[in-house]
């Protein structure tokens, strides 16, 4: 492969960090991939966010069973900050999550109220970790239902 390609000098200064709104963390679940994009579009964020997708969302970062994913996540957060100046991490966990059943408890989604508290707990733990490792970033914690509706939790 020939990589000796001359490129025009970039217009923007190397010091200038392009600004984008946020890094979105969401689960890989195919049922909600389009719904997550629609939800973010609805907030006017189309084309304005970085995204990392890990099974379980917050659980995928914080579970003892997925430590390699956590390393990947933190590297993405740091790079998103450096390259795009993100100001916020938007965590979108969801109901009936298979990763929650796999990594937390098989009955994770059996009782709606318990499911809510479970996801809040994991998202809150991740928000605390973000505050510790990446101070200055805002964090939003959202729980999406299978119909695409979203509940926001304020920490
Ligand atoms: Zn899931």
Written as one string, the DSSP assignment of the chain is -------PPPSS-TTPPPP-SEEEEE---GGGHHHHHHHHHHTT-TT-EEEEE-TTTHHHHH-GGGHHHHHHHHHHHHHHHHHH---EEEEEEETT-HHHHHHT-TTTTTSHHHHHHHHHHHHHHHHHHHHHHSTT-EEEEEEE-TTS-EEEE--
Residue at 8 is within a domain: no
d(CA 5, ligand 1 centre) in Å:
43
**For residue 16, what pLDDT is reported?**
67
**CATH number, residue 65:** 3.40.1050.10
Q: How confident is the model at residue 87 (pLDDT cuts 50, 70, 90)?
A: very high
Residue at 9 is within a domain: no
Mean pLDDT of 67-84: 97
Residue at 5 is within a domain: no
d(CA 28, ligand 1 centre) in Å:
6
**For residue 19, what pLDDT is reported?**
84
d(CA 89, ligand 1 centre) in Å:
18
Residue at 134 is within a domain: yes
Structural domain that includes position 143: 22-153
Number of domains in the chain: 1
d(CA 64, ligand 1 centre) in Å:
17
């Amino acid at each position: 492969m020939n990589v000796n390609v001359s490129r025009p000098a970039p217009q923007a200064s190397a010091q200038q960090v392009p600004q984008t709104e946020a890094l979105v963390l969401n689960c890989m679940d195919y049922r909600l991939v389009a719904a997550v994009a629609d939800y973010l579009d609805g907030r006017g964020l189309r084309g304005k966010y970085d995204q990392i997708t890990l099974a379980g969302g917050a659980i995928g970062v914080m579970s003892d069973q997925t430590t390699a994913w956590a390393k990947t996540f933190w590297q993405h957060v740091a790079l998103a900050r450096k390259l795009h100046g993100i100001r916020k991490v938007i965590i979108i966990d969801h109901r009936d999550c298979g990763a929650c059943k796999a990594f937390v408890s098989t009955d994770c989604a059996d009782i709606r109220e318990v499911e809510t508290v479970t996801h809040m707990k994991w998202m809150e733990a991740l928000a605390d970790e973000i505050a510790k490792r990446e101070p200055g970033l805002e964090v939003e914690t959202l729980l999406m239902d299978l119909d695409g509706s979203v509940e926001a939790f304020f920490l």
